[in-house]
A and B are shown apart, each in its own frame.
Chain A
Amino acid sequence: MAIINQATKELQVKIVYYGTALGGKTTNLVQIHDHVQTAEGQKGKLVSLATSSDRTLFFDFLPIEAMAIKGFKTKFQLYTVPGQVIYNTTRQLVLRGVDGIVFVADSQYEKMEENVKSFQNLEENLRSLNLSLSDIPYVLQYNKRDLPNAAPIEYMEFLLNNREQQVPSFPACASKCEGVFETLNMITRMLLHKFINQNLSKAA
């Protein structure tokens, strides 16, 4: 979980981008890295542990600092997981210490079954870490909305956001950087509100 260093007034938070293979998780991080407006030194290098064909092998990693938070230096560490089914052990490793999740769903009709399976896999992997989606803030991103075979948002909501408590969801076209920052801002805001509320309830 997030670590806080009272001595240096630093808060470090881990956000994991999860979803099917070739769904656009790495593209989200690449777009954030390329387009985020930061002060000098507040954006780290994007590290990709990928195969020769650019498929994520272990994870991608991007450290970045938020500008608008006063009082604490708030550092976000963004990770992706490999989407391919065979790399489940790796996904479990990357989820260790996760604070927030962005589930990147592929909007193409033929990917719906994979989306649902990947979401179920996320729940299983969280269970193996004694976590659940009711404890961890998460948002949904419906990526590749520009493709002609994209399923309607309502259908994707029915498949992936059909729970007692619905979470924010965003249509996106990550390759054009559309919806990428909206998604990131929502998950960071949800995370910080959760931490602040936890703190308030402890103080009460």
Chain B
Amino acid sequence: MATLPQLIEEDIEAMNRALDELLARSEACAALIIDKGGFLITQTVHARQFDLVTLAALSAASFAATQGIANLVSETNFTSIYQQGEIHSLLVINIDEHCLLTVVFPAQVSVGAVKYFAAATVKQVANQLQKATQRNPTARLDLSLINMAETGPLFRKKTA
């Protein structure tokens, strides 16, 4: 299965800049770039703390379920999903084969405006991911820094 390219500091910085810009323009409170497997890649959050790891996992699952629904109604895919709330609303937009953009914004902000500004963010992020792929198309995992010298269990059970 194809995976994300290796992301270096330059990539994350470029994506964070795009997210910052989106938040500034759209009045959104959080913007996340997530992998379709449910991993959080990077995020920008204003004001309020959300559980971003879980938000990423659930957004990816929700988007994947929506794609299943698209197939049932003879659509190749839906490019975004929108959940309207009373305090916050949520927009999840497809970036490319691997990634999604999730935006959390105040419910009083128009979804049209968020979509409009997010379209530019999607382009910027997709371009950066493309650059990362072209930088080293075959590179995937570089774990040379991992040190598993400790031979004990990785997860330990609490003692009573």
Contact = CB atoms under 8 A, between A and B. Distances in A.
Interface of A: 1-9, 11-12, 14, 32, 35-37, 44-45, 47, 58-59, 61, 63-64, 66-72, 74-75, 77, 79, 89-90, 93-94, 96-98, 129-131, 177, 181, 184-185, 188-189, 192-193, 195-196, 198-199, 202-203
B29 to A, nearest CB: 20
Name which of A12, A94, A130, A181 has the most chain B CB atoms within 10 A of its CB.
A12
B141 A2 contact: yes
A36 B156 contact: yes
Contacts of B58: 47, 61
Contacts, number: 159
Nearest to A96: B37
Category for how many chain B residues contact A: 35 or more
13 contacts: A6-B7, A7-B7, A9-B145, A66-B154, A70-B149, A72-B143, A72-B145, A89-B68, A93-B64, A97-B39, A188-B154, A192-B154, A198-B140
A contact face: mostly helix, strand, loop, or mixed: mixed
Contact of A36 (B3, B40, B68, B157): B157
Interface stretch (B49-57, B84-92, B120-128): B49-57
Contacts of A2: 3, 141
Given A6-B8, A70-B146, A77-B39, 15 more contacts: A1-B1, A7-B12, A8-B12, A35-B158, A37-B157, A61-B57, A68-B152, A70-B149, A93-B61, A97-B1, A130-B1, A181-B155, A181-B156, A199-B143, A202-B138
Given A1-B1, A14-B37, A97-B39, A6 B146 contact: no
Interface of B: 1, 3-4, 6-9, 11-13, 35-42, 51, 53-54, 57-58, 61, 64-65, 68, 138-150, 152-159
